[in-house]
Amino acid sequence: MWLLIAYAILLAGSHGIRTQPADLPADSNLETILLPELDNGIPIKESIHLAFIDNHKEGAAVLILPDNRAGSTATIKLVESLNIRSPYRIIAPDLSGLSGLNGDLTDHSFRNQAAYLSLLLDSLSIDSAHVIAYSSSGIVASNWMHSAPHQLKSVTMLSAYGVQELELLGEYYLNRSLYALQVALIWFKSEAIPHFGLFDRSPRNLAYALNWLESDQRPIRAYLGGFRGPVQIIHGTNDDQVSYSSALEHHRILPQSELKAMELAGHDIPVSHADTLSAWVQQWIERVDSNQVTPYSAVSGDALARSNEPFHPSRYPRAVGGALFVLLRLIALSTLLSEDIAAIGAGLLVARGSLEFDQALAATFVGIFGGDITLYAAGRLMGARIVTYPPFLWLISARKLERGKIWFQN
């Protein structure tokens, strides 16, 4: 009983601190601007705060580096490297901090984040800018290519997520079930564990999980295919988060694009290859601004024909290394949400060649067996008192448990 009382006091204190409005750190170099809150790109109510870094280099080309990972090391490193090497005005909006500064948002989707970036440029009186979209910001940039292409002088897709077919299980509804599981797990961790705001500041917080759950990657293929501006694609050949196959597919869909493979590099190119990357970016922008890149109108007929071909299953990559571990872990964890969905998803991965049959079978078995044994063990070790502890006390009362016990005895 005393443990339960102490837990309740700590949890109440944690929630009390978390409900306080967040402020920017006193030593932060972030600025804020007021923008209308958007739902599906449409203003709905009073203004919200968007934080961003701006080096205020006037009269120079403008670079936008959307940060979708709570002040990620990758973004900070790239900003620092570009600041040293280049003369550009660099603006890095903190899209991940929207919820922290403004509380619960109506729409967390990547589509909506693209609309915020468009509003930011309008508010700063910037007609157009070069965009460097790293990781999940690639989906934000893809939506921006569709909604306001006139604002984009060029786009660099850096280790970027993109088309639906090459994301996780490759299918919208199956992926959505995994995103829902991710939201549920992060929500439980955030709400049931007294952490006094620590988890909220994590890169993989609830807002991050909602970005994926509330987004739709199915239109990304058409958005990319409809963009006519200059695009540079930079990707590590050993990226275990976003397969190099994604870069190849994006390059095919965008026939005017230039693909630069960073040999043996992983996903963290802005950290591991900061100097090389900033040099490539600077060279690219100089070429774009001096009209030395191939325009869409000059793309060969063969490249245009290939870009219009439908996606072929042969382009699915086989999962290896870190990507294999991530997929197997997702299959095992997804059994906690639905054993049927996990089994179907695993079977689809085998059918498309991403996993071997024995790998998929092992991950599904471990998830189902491990989940069931954990529940049985908890019931065996703790007995009826288990329903007095979260999360079980939220799911079933002691009275209902006793009623079930009598039903089985009879």
Mean pLDDT computed over 259-285: 93
pLDDT recorded at residue 211: 92
Residue 102 has pLDDT above 80, yes or no: no
Residue 71 has pLDDT above 60, yes or no: no
pLDDT recorded at residue 69: 63
Residue 33 near residue 49, CB atoms below 8 Å: yes
pLDDT recorded at residue 142: 98
Alpha helices in 290-397 (DSSP H): 301-307, 321-334, 339-351, 357-382, 392-395
Tell me the torsion sign for CA atoms 268, 274, 280, 285: positive
pLDDT digits (tens, 9 = 90+) for 292-316: 999 999 999 999 999 999 998 777 8
Backbone angles phi, psi at 261, to 5 degrees: -90, 130
Check residue 69 and report its DSSP letter: S
404 vs 408: CA distance, rounded Å: 6
Mean pLDDT computed over 270-299: 94
- 26 pLDDT band, cuts 50/70/90, is low
pLDDT recorded at residue 324: 82
In a 3-state reduction of DSSP, which class is residue 60?
coil
pLDDT recorded at residue 391: 66
% of the chain residues with pLDDT over 70: 91
Cα 62 to its chain centre, rounded Å, is 24
Residue 25 has pLDDT above 60, yes or no: no
Whole-number mean pLDDT of the chain? 86
Cα 179 to its chain centre, rounded Å, is 10
Which domains are present in the chain? 2-315 (3.40.50.1820), 321-409 (no CATH)
- 72 pLDDT band, cuts 50/70/90, is low
pLDDT recorded at residue 262: 95
pLDDT digits (tens, 9 = 90+) for 381-406: 777 777 777 666 676 777 777 777 77
Structure tokens at 176: 């959505």
Residue 291 has pLDDT above 90, yes or no: yes
Residue 50 near residue 94, CB atoms below 8 Å: yes
Residue 321 near residue 240, CB atoms below 8 Å: yes
pLDDT digits (tens, 9 = 90+) for 324-373: 887 888 899 888 878 888 899 899 889 888 889 999 999 999 999 998 89
Which stretches of 186-324 are assigned E, i.e. beta strand?
Answer: 231-236, 258-262
Residue 328 near residue 357, CB atoms below 8 Å: no
In the block, residue with structure tokens 């690219």:
284
pLDDT recorded at residue 93: 92
The closest of 353, 391, 318, 333 to 177, measured between CA atoms, is 333
The closest of 176, 198, 180 to 189, measured between CA atoms, is 198
- 121 pLDDT band, cuts 50/70/90, is very high
Check residue 302 and report its DSSP letter: H
What is this structure's pTM? 0.84
Lowest mean pLDDT among 14-28, 195-209, 218-232, 257-271: 14-28
Residue 244 near residue 237, CB atoms below 8 Å: yes
Position with higher pLDDT, 128 vs 192 = 128
226 vs 222: CA distance, rounded Å: 6
Cα 306 to its chain centre, rounded Å, is 29
250 vs 268: CA distance, rounded Å: 19
For the beta sheet containing 129-134, the strands, ordered from the edge strand earlier in sequence to the opposite edge, are: 31-39, 42-54, 89-93, 62-64, 129-134, 152-158, 231-236, 258-262
pLDDT recorded at residue 105: 83
239 vs 236: CA distance, rounded Å: 5
- 217 pLDDT band, cuts 50/70/90, is very high
Tell me the torsion sign for CA atoms 406, 407, 409, 410: positive
Residue 130 near residue 187, CB atoms below 8 Å: no
Residue 118 near residue 148, CB atoms below 8 Å: yes
